[in-house]
């Protein structure tokens, strides 16, 4: 059962055009500490602006800690490492990629277990949780178009668990990377005041205590649905429990809508997911593919009462392998705002799939789908069997 905390003020931020001004303003106002954790920290206009804001904060005495993933941000050290270090920013890399032959991908189980969270906490006063990396929305392949994604800005008691996971992740990676404990003072624990009236829960996925926390929150909310379920997810390859929850909801009369990528940067996973479309469509689930750009969202709205925003994809890598974080919000106005945004995106930028259209695709396309399904399944088995290794 998801446990919600009251007293929060949570603002929806759609795409980088809303997120990065809010983030940069919060960094500029920082006085004591900044934690930033991200999968991608790109060397583009946005990445350089955020790096400059962090270095300026460090120079005025703010304790700045940046943790990035070694695969998603594999050029981070060469691009920003020296500048940040000189300014006094502490930066660590989770599972740094070390390849004997640059550009050659070697499949190993540990490579699939990534730090996929996008979190920021500042002064125990404000936090950001979502799916938006430190990267320009327009930094995508030219044929895809700008990125569509979401984050939330949080004030209130929910900052306590967010700060706690940032602290614990930092201490663990410091131990592995530097071989010493970078213990943070216990009196640094934030004591945020009540900031609003919204109930929310901070949800984690990792390989120890919270393997199924985010997935179970989704399943709990879908099983309790009475009117509608709207899910927008970038990388969609749900397991059996998730598929059953969607199809059972549709069969009992719930309006179930799923918004997925129409233009993908990972075609193998995209084609593999299409093997599941027929099952969902026959159950009454409506499927739309976003055509106006690069859908990177990981959000959902259920009954205009429950909503979630975060980094969690409904695919094997988020379900079983990656470290993820979401916020679930139990609030009518917030859910209605996100729901209206998604409805507008679907109406103006998405194309609905039908069983007839799916059946008209060539045998080559159908064969490609199943070959991709096999590849994704094999990679999933490889990664899950490696769960017992230290992560």
- The confidence score (pLDDT) of residue 181 equals 62
Q: Is 296 a catalytic residue?
A: yes
* Residue finishing a domain among 167, 188, 209: 188
**249 and 229 in contact (C-beta within 8 Å)?**
yes
Q: Which CATH number belongs to the domain containing residue 178 in this structure? A: 3.30.870.10
278 within a domain of the structure (yes/no): yes
Do residues 240 and 176 share a domain? no
Give the mean pLDDT per block of 10 residues along the chain (391 residues).
95 98 98 97 98 98 96 95 95 78 47 88 96 97 91 97 94 80 65 92 88 95 98 92 96 97 80 85 96 96 97 87 95 98 97 84 73 72 45 30
- Domain extent for 209: 201-385
Catalytic residue among 136, 169, 270, 298: 298
Measure the CA angle with vertex 176, ends 175 and 182; round to 5°: 20
390 within a domain of the structure (yes/no): no
Q: Is 118 a catalytic residue?
A: yes
Q: Is 110 a catalytic residue?
A: no
Q: Is 180 a catalytic residue?
A: no
Catalytic residue among 69, 169, 303, 331: 303
149 within a domain of the structure (yes/no): yes
Catalytic residue among 116, 263, 270, 305: 116
Do residues 176 and 259 share a domain? no
- The confidence score (pLDDT) of residue 9 equals 98
**316 and 380 in contact (C-beta within 8 Å)?**
yes
Q: Is 123 a catalytic residue?
A: yes
Catalytic residue among 123, 137, 315, 331: 123
How many structural domains compose the chain?
Answer: 2
């Amino acid at each position: 059962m998801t446990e919600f905390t009251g007293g929060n003020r949570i603002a929806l931020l759609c795409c980088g055009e809303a997120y990065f001004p809010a983030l940069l303003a919060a960094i500029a106002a920082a006085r004591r500490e900044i934690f930033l954790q991200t999968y991608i920290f790109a060397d583009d206009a946005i990445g350089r602006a955020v790096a400059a804001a962090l270095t300026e904060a460090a120079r005025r005495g703010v304790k700045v800690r940046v943790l990035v993933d070694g695969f998603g941000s594999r050029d981070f050290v060469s691009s920003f490492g020296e500048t940040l270090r000189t300014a006094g920013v502490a930066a660590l890399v989770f599972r740094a990629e070390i390849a004997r032959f640059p550009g050659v991908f070697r499949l190993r189980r540990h490579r699939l277990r990534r730090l996929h969270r996008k979190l920021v906490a500042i002064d125990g006063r404000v936090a950001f949780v979502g799916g938006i990396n430190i990267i320009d929305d327009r930094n995508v392949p030219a044929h895809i178009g700008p990125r569509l994604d979401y984050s939330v800005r949080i004030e209130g008691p929910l900052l306590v668990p967010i700060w706690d996971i940032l602290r614990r992740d930092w201490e663990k990676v410091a131990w592995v990377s530097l071989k010493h404990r970078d213990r943070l003072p216990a009196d640094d624990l934030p004591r945020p005041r009540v900031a609003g009236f919204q109930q929310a829960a901070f949800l984690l996925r990792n390989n120890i205590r919270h393997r199924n926390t985010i997935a179970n929150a989704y399943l709990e909310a879908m099983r309790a649905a009475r009117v509608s379920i709207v899910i927008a997810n970038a990388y969609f390859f749900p397991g059996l429990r998730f598929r059953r929850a969607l199809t059972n909801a549709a069969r009992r009369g719930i309006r179930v809508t799923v918004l997925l990528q129409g233009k993908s940067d990972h075609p193998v996973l995209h084609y593999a997911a299409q093997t599941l479309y027929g099952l969902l469509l026959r159950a009454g689930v409506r499927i739309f593919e976003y055509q106006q750009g690069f859908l990177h969202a990981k959000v959902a709205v259920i009954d205009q009462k429950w909503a979630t925003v975060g980094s969690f994809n409904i695919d094997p890598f988020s379900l079983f392998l990656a470290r993820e974080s979401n916020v679930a919000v139990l609030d009518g106005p917030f859910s209605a705002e996100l729901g209206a945004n998604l409805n507008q995106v679907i109406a103006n930028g998405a194309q609905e799939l039908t069983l007839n259209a799916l059946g008209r695709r060539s045998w080559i396309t159908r064969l490609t789908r199943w070959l991709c399904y096999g590849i994704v399944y094999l990679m999933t088995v490889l990664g899950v069997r490696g769960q017992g290794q230290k992560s």
